[in-house]
Amino acid sequence: MSIKFHKMKFIKLTSLLLIFFCCAEIQGTFAQTSLFSYNHYVNENGDTLNYRLLFPDYNTMRKYPLVVFLHGSGECGNDNEAQLKWGVGKFADERLMIQYPAFVLAPQCPSDMEWANYDEDETSRTLTLKPSPSKPMELVISLIQQLMAEFPIDTSRIYITGLSMGGKGTYDAIQRYPNLFAAAVPVCGAGDTSRAASIAHIPIWIFHGAEDPVIDPLYSIDMLSALIQAGAHPGFTQYPQVGHFSWLGAYTDPLMMSWLFGQRK
Residues 6+ apart with CB under 8 A from 252: 90
Yes or no: say if 49 and 143 are a contact pair by the CB < 8 Å rule: yes
In this predicted structure, what is the pLDDT of residue 251? 98
Yes or no: say if 54 and 103 are a contact pair by the CB < 8 Å rule: yes
0.75 exceeded by the pTM?
Answer: yes
Residues 6+ apart with CB under 8 A from 139: 41, 43, 47, 48, 49, 107
In this predicted structure, what is the pLDDT of residue 178? 97
Please give the average pLDDT of every successive group of 10 residues along the chain, which has 265 residues: 43 40 43 83 95 91 96 97 96 95 98 96 93 98 97 97 98 98 98 98 98 97 98 98 97 98 97
CA-closest candidate to residue 212, choices 228, 191, 190, 227: 190
CA-closest candidate to residue 171, choices 158, 188, 156, 157: 188
